[in-house]
């Protein structure tokens, strides 16, 4: 009997240790609303900026009415407004689309060569173990060139995102220090998130940034984490529930 109890305690210890180590090595990407919703002009939801930080310390998104580009970096949330300037949104502001994770780099390496965005992405692709996983990617350092955009807050009735982006503001920087915050999603997740790479930029002085349209890298540090879990919050709003996504998704993020 005593032996059985000792065996059981040992077994339970092994099981709980295994559970703990599994949890420790697990990363979750939390997302609120599928991207197809935003693309089709569903631009309001109820998740607050304050709540976002419960789900991650690293990521990107936007605000209700697409009121600027969101960057989540080191547990802080930044907004790049349509004037290109960065401000800190209040915790009560809401987001219709956000992707965040608690970032722990698994791989880290340094590049010190000038690469345009296309070459950079091709080289980065070679470093990934699979094209079928989601990756969180942080690139910090010097950029020879950076081109970003933001957009002005929309009012109802909302157009689709492609139409809204016809009025986007574009910002161009030469020789700028800062951080790219982003993700790579597999092509099979189209409609759920942005297939391929999606980066937002925040300058080192935290004064400028936006959704990245183009860049050329200088001396940078790249940190990558493969995501092992994906969790998505669906909006409960009438606009979302009644929207017709069966029509062809609108291109243009």
For binding to Zn ion (CB under 5 A), which residues are involved? 211
Residue linked to tokens 């529930």: 241
Minimum distance from CB of 253 to Zn ion (Å)?
6
Give the nearest residue (CB) to Zn ion. 211
Minimum distance from CB of 35 to Zn ion (Å)?
10
Minimum distance from CB of 15 to Zn ion (Å)?
42
Closest among 233, 222, 130 to 179, alpha carbons compared: 222
Strand partners, 48: 94
What is the C-alpha to C-alpha distance for residues 6 and 2, in angstroms, rounded to an integer?
6
Residue linked to tokens 């999606």: 198
Q: Is the dihedral of CA 61, 64, 69, 74 positive or negative?
A: negative
Minimum distance from CB of 88 to Zn ion (Å)?
19
* Of residues 114 and 189, the one with the C-beta less far from Zn ion: 189
Burial letters 166-201, b for 16+ CB under 10 A, else e: eebeebebeebbbbbbbbbbbeeeeebbbbebbbbb
Distance of CA 4 to the CA centre of its chain: 50
* Of residues 114 and 160, the one with the C-beta less far from Zn ion: 160
Q: Is 6 helix (H, G, I), strand (E, B) or coil?
A: helix
* Of residues 108 and 154, the one with the C-beta less far from Zn ion: 154
* Of residues 94 and 200, the one with the C-beta less far from Zn ion: 200
Closest among 147, 138, 136, 142 to 112, alpha carbons compared: 142
Minimum distance from CB of 19 to Zn ion (Å)?
36
* Of residues 110 and 135, the one with the C-beta less far from Zn ion: 135
Q: Is the dihedral of CA 139, 142, 144, 146 positive or negative?
A: positive
Residue linked to tokens 């950079």: 120
* Of residues 79 and 211, the one with the C-beta less far from Zn ion: 211
Minimum distance from CB of 105 to Zn ion (Å)?
21
């Amino acid at each position: 009997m005593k032996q059985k109890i000792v065996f059981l305690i040992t077994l339970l210890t092994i099981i709980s240790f295994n559970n703990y180590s599994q949890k420790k090595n697990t990363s979750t990407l939390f997302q609120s609303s599928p991207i197809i919703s935003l693309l089709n002009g569903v631009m309001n939801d109820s998740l607050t900026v304050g709540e976002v930080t419960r789900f991650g310390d690293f990521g990107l998104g936007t605000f209700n009415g697409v009121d600027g580009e969101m960057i989540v970096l080191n547990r802080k949330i930044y907004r790049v407004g349509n004037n290109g300037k960065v401000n800190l949104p209040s915790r009560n502001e809401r987001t219709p689309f956000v992707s965040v994770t608690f970032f722990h780099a698994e791989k880290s390496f340094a590049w010190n060569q000038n690469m345009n965005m296309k070459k950079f992405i091709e080289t980065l692709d070679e470093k990934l173990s699979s094209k079928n996983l989601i990756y969180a990617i942080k690139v910090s350092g010097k950029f020879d060139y950076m081109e970003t955009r933001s957009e002005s807050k929309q009012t109802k009735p909302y157009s689709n995102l492609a139409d809204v982006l016809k009025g986007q503001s574009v910002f161009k920087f030469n020789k700028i220090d800062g951080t790219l915050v982003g993700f790579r999603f597999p092509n099979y997740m189209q409609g759920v998130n942005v297939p391929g790479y999606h980066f937002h930029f925040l300058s080192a002085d935290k004064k400028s940034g936006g959704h990245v349209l183009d860049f050329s890298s200088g001396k940078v540090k790249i940190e990558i984490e493969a995501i092992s879990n994906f969790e998505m919050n669906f909006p409960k709003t009438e606009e979302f529930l009644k929207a017709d996504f069966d029509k062809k998704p609108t291109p243009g993020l």
